[in-house]
A and B are shown apart, each in its own frame.
Chain A
Amino acid sequence: MMDAWQGWLYVAAVVIPLAAFVVQILGLRLFRKQTALIATGAIASSLILSAIGFGSYFIASGGMPSPHAEGHEGESPEASPAAAGAFSEGRAAPLAWSGNWTWVSLGRGLLPDRQPLAIPIGIRIDALAVLMFLMVTFIATLIHVYSMEYMEGDPRYPRFFAYLSLFCFSMLGLVASSSVFLVFVFWELVGICSYLLIGFWYEDRSNSDAANKAFIVNRIGDVGMLVGLGLLWTQLGTFDIAEINAGLSAVEARQGDALGRITSEDPGAVWNVMIGGTERSIPHWILVLAGLGIFAGCVGKSAQFPLHVWLPDAMAGPTPVSALIHAATMVAAGVYLVGRFFPLFSAEVLLVIAYTGGITLFLAATIALVQVDYKKVLAYSTVSQLGFMMLALGVGGWAAGLFHLLTHAFFKALLFLGAGSVHHAVHTYDLRPLGGLRRKMPVTAATMLIGTLAISGVPLFSGFYSKDAILASAIHFVSERPGHALLLVLPASGAAMTAFYMFRMWFLLFTGSSRGWSAAGLAPEHGQRDDPAALAHESGPRITWPLRILAVPTVMIGWPLTILPLAVAGLPFHPVLEDWLSSAAPLPAQPLGSAQSWAAATSLLVLVVGVGLAFLAYHPSKTIRRIDPARMAAHLGGLYSLFVNSWYFDEVYQALVVRPCLAIGRRAAWVDRVVIDGIIDGLAAITVALSRLDRAIDASVVDRLVSLVAGMIYVLGGVGRRLQTGRLRSYLMVLSIAFVLLSVGVLVWVVR
């Protein structure tokens, strides 16, 4: 049942791409190139619906929340002892449209006074979902347009768009889902779309390997998710995210913690949770386990350490796919789910989330420093940025993490599309022979510069504000828990590295002049001429216009109302989007206090370090004294090869997981063939041998006995035959003798 017409709007926005997919896949041969138009039309209609939904939500929820509403509320010093319960009750429930229908209902009449146990499917559209819809449909529409040119001439062009439509359906469904079960369903569906699109050019073995790897690594995370689902369902009897959130937000244990998290010294402590009007209970350790399980799913999907290995390989797919799925939308789904299901995570799990994010962002940034493939730089940078988001959520910066999710989606999509534009022109992903493309591809160069400025965190660009918010959350957390200083060091150094590797990439691609394959000491790829950039030219309008359009939100969506980052001067400022998000937070935000000023200072400092180093090392200008990158690498020593080899994760997994698994599989097959079948065949052989023995005994013993008996009878018969003389006289004699003997016998017997 749907409670508002806007809900149907969103159902339509989800279902239209699915309908488009069905039409395309059934009519692959019929429509040929028209599939692109069908797919684009479908996602564009979803965009329009999402925009209407956004407007409607904006009006229905009373417009912009007043800035700092959260901050003031929390700042009244000891408002927090009034406890977490009061926290959430004090706030008006954020507006959400929802509708649920029964998908499966079983167990009727098994408990006399209870309803059957049902698994519902449904949607729930809250502020976060409204924003996500707008972001996903907007970027997806642009990428559809972009792909029309980028994929032109591909023999499987129609199928590409069919897959894109399926992906859009799955992604939008994931965002809209009201229950974590349904999230899991779409989770797997986006996974399979990702599989199909990574392996789109499946003729190359390495591409289909990458696709398999992506899906299987994701499934490892999904095991955790299944565990989380099972535990929650068993303990709480529902999958509904909003119900569980509401129940867990009010748990008493939040009172004892300064950061409003569920903490307990005793793992066996049992929390009473109100779920949909009835009280259920869940032991603390199961809550932790369930949280870790759900988070494991997010680790897989959002390519976090230690399951990050699939995302760099996923770059084997066409670049629009990398931009849409593996940068802007799907990989952010893990972060989205953590945000959506935030109250589930207890203090221990949040700490795990924070450290996972921190380690991921640091690892990936170090690897990105040394990549020579510009798409891989972007891939590792995506992993790293997702780490930032996770870290933010882990330290309690709910709005900051999701804010970064949105800003990142725009600038990373822009960067990937720019990279695709470059590849479209030069047909290589190798940075080393390229250079000086700024003059040949001015639009691409300019838009990518905007993206680079945004991701590096230059003030006035969106990335600055979101990264600043993350650092503020981290600083606040560390000031509360000084033991976890690493959670500040990691993102700060990661931010510096981000600025460095992004500017390195931009300088190497666009400034100076083309270096050529031979100067870089390499053999040209696929029989290219020596200078891959020789014939490069700006891409067509269907590629450049999406870049131009994406550049606008890349700059603007982070802006506060006053535009200027006044926090530097100690004045409060808040980006509009972040305010909007935090008004919808499932748990009330923490007052950050002075952390904001420190954060602004820190982010400016690391920015200067990162960009400065990149400038000195890679800017072609002769006037600036240059640092030789090779010497920098030499200084790093063993670390350098560690980074180049991505910390040897693939090799370690190959040795510790993949090969043992295959070996066990072979062993199992061997057991079947040799041991079990050996026993079976052995039993059969023994049976046969026994029956042979039986036959032998039959022949030698039983048969002989039978023959013996027969022989004896024969002999006796022979004897008897002699009696058969045929003469009456001898018969009579025998008879009379017999009679006499009998009479004597009877007489003796009677007399005795």
Chain B
Amino acid sequence: MSDNLLLSLLWALPLAGSVLVLLVPGRSDLAVKGTALGVSALTFALSLVAFSSYLSGGLAETPLADRAALNTLTVAEGTGAVSLVDEPGDLVFRGPWIPYFRIQYFLGLDGISLSLVLLTGLISLLACLASWGIDRSVKGYFSLFLLLLASMMGVFLALDLFLFFVFFEFMLLPMYFLIGVWGGARKEYAAIKFLLYTLFGSVFILVAILVLYFYAPDGAEPLHTFDALRLMARTEHFTGTIFGFGVQSVVFALLLIGFLIKLPAVPFHTWLPDAHVEAPTPISMILAGILLKVGGYGLIRLAWPLAPVGAFELSWVVAVLGVVGILYGALAAMAQTDFKRLVAYSSVSHMGYVTLGLAAMNLIDPRYYSYGVNGAMYMMIAHGITSAGMFFLVGVVYDRLHTRDLGQLGGLMNAMPVFGGVTMLIFFGSMGLPGLCGFVAEVFVVLSAFNYSYGLAILAAAAVVLTAGYILWALQRVLLGRNDSHRGLPDMSMREVAVAAPLVVLTVWLGLFPQSVLGWVGPSVDRVVAAVASANGAMPEAEEVALSDAAGGSSR
């Protein structure tokens, strides 16, 4: 399959699916759901195809920029005739889109984006399966659902800033309607809050993109390109000031605000609890599992590499925001009485680790920083799995009891043992219990933070107590105790088990064998680290303190 076909299908297939769903004849809800499920499954299968060709092609070893350089696009000055070279099998495609502004249809995958594409495929498939209970305007729901899937895929695929921005904005639309139409009691408020909040952030991103377009130099001339990779390669020339601030600092700050709102980081987070509480269960899964990752992805893919010097200058602000987020989210989670709101705040806390991991920029020995960025990346994947699972489990309870009030739950362990076991495991995964996925991310970030600032690292480490506090307390209020009114509740159905099982397996697998993911994500992350470090002048000269190779027992 050519790169163009494969990469384009990843977003075009669900887009076509969203139209197809509307065309399903008759009033059969099952046919609509089946079609949507089929399209989601196919999309996931496509992401697996991309994954296998990434692995079999050994693409983890070649930097994305090198691969992209082989795919060229030239537009003849006078005639506008397009000639493009597409290197087959490298998961990069560069095509023309709006040649006048040098906007390209530029798609590509590396470890960072591929892991999130896989996550998107999987979580969407599971969310689609979890949407079986939707009974209102089924066609509209699934059409919007697939539209959302298409735009999320596009965000992770795009390497042209303009294209990225188009997908980024387009995501909001289906989400707005999915919350606003199929949501809970305060759905209009939550939907409009979500929409305006994120649109507000988008403005900053747009300005940053335009600044890059007009300012980024190519020798004496401005570069005038939206090609993210070319811009990244030019960062060392990207100096000068805007209103007395360094251009890089300005660009970084703009991108940072935009993506921190999406992440979300304290104090830009209050759209999240409302959106989560009001959204229907599968949409909460997507929101927590994927949409929040768009923020983190934007930071790691764009903000840091596009403005590495600015990032380094502002890193302490970001690190403080991260630690504040971790603690604030955990404390706020502890005070919640609504099960879903508690889980939502746990997301705020966990996304703080992403921010901190990225910001722990000690560049003296970038290998430690690499642990921070990899930890942040791992947190996105791990949180994508556990938080989707947590929201799903909240939904399972809500479907049966029609309440999320922690005061009224309790005793579910005895009534629903399978549910109890799954809940314990997923929540422990979120708590950062060793052997489960959250631990790896958390511990990498905290350990790496010790290379940046002892104070912040100790505060971040202290958060594990709060995390244990709110998770265990929540489990106690939901599962434990005795509650005779819940006796006889049906345990999880086969469909529900089918949704939960992959999440459970991944929670354990990612906790035990992190190298199975980091083996192909890590090289891409390390290249980001290397680029950031060398842009700040830290890379070439290795400092004098000798390090042992803790490379394992091969020598021992």
Contact = CB atoms under 8 A, between A and B. Distances in A.
Interface of A: 1, 3, 25, 98-120, 122, 184-186, 188-189, 192, 195, 199, 202-203, 205, 208-209, 211-212, 215-216, 219-220, 222-223, 226-227, 229-231, 233-234, 236-240, 243, 275-281, 661-662, 664-666, 668-669, 672, 676-677, 680, 684
B257 interface: no
B461 interface: yes
Given A1-B556, A202-B413, A668-B328, A226 B446 contact: yes
A283 B552 CA distance: 26
Contacts of A118: 549-552
Contact of A216 (B269, B365, B465, B480): B465
Contact of A184 (B331, B434, B545): B434
Contacts of B458: 223, 227
B481 A110 contact: no
A236 B421 CA distance: 40
A316 B226 CA distance: 64
A16 to B, nearest CB: 17
B522 A100 contact: no
B552 A120 contact: yes
A226 B468 contact: no
A299 B368 CA distance: 29
13 contacts: A101-B552, A117-B367, A118-B551, A184-B434, A185-B434, A189-B435, A199-B480, A227-B461, A230-B450, A230-B461, A276-B555, A661-B466, A665-B331
B529 A110 contact: yes
B70 to A, nearest CB: 21
B529 to A, nearest CB: 6
Interface in B356-378: 365-368, 370-371, 374
B332 A665 contact: yes
Given A120-B553, A203-B414, A662-B335, A107 B371 contact: yes
Nearest to A675: B267
Contacts of A236: 548
A111 B548 contact: no
A664 B435 CA distance: 31
In the A-B complex, the 8 residue pairs with the smallest Cβ-Cβ separation, listed nearest first, are: A100-B553, A107-B367, A230-B450, A115-B549, A102-B552, A107-B370, A665-B334, A185-B434
Nearest to B546: A278
Interface string B487-517: 0000000000000000000000000001100
Given A216-B469, A672-B332, A107 B552 contact: no
B336 interface: yes
A239 B472 CA distance: 29
A669 B336 contact: yes
Interface of B: 193, 196-197, 267, 269-270, 273, 328, 331-336, 365-368, 370-371, 374, 411, 413-414, 421, 428, 433-435, 439-440, 443, 446-447, 449-451, 454, 457-458, 461-462, 464-466, 468-469, 472-473, 476, 479-482, 514-515, 518, 522-523, 525-526, 529-530, 533, 539-540, 542, 545-556
**How would you classify the secondary structure of chain B's contact residues: helix, strand, loop or mixed?**
helix
A226 B432 CA distance: 13
A223 B466 CA distance: 11
Nearest to A122: B553
Contact of A1 (B328, B421, B522, B553): B553
B553 A98 contact: yes
B522 A106 contact: yes
A668 B325 CA distance: 11
Contacts of B365: 111
A102 B551 contact: yes
A98 B273 CA distance: 49
Contacts of A100: 552-553, 556
A672 B526 contact: no
Contacts of B546: 278-280
Given A184-B434, A239-B550, 5 more contacts: A106-B518, A110-B526, A122-B553, A203-B480, A231-B454
A676 B332 CA distance: 13
B480 A223 contact: no
B515 A104 contact: yes
Contacts of B447: 226, 229-230, 233-234
A626 to B, nearest CB: 46
Contacts of B428: 192
B427 to A, nearest CB: 11
A26 B15 CA distance: 40
B371 A106 contact: yes
B151 to A, nearest CB: 25
B548 A280 contact: yes
Given A672-B273, A680-B270, A280 B545 contact: yes
Contacts of A661: 331, 334, 466, 469
Contacts of A120: 550-553
Nearest to A224: B461
B550 A107 contact: no
Contact of A276 (B331, B451, B548): B548
Contacts of A211: 472
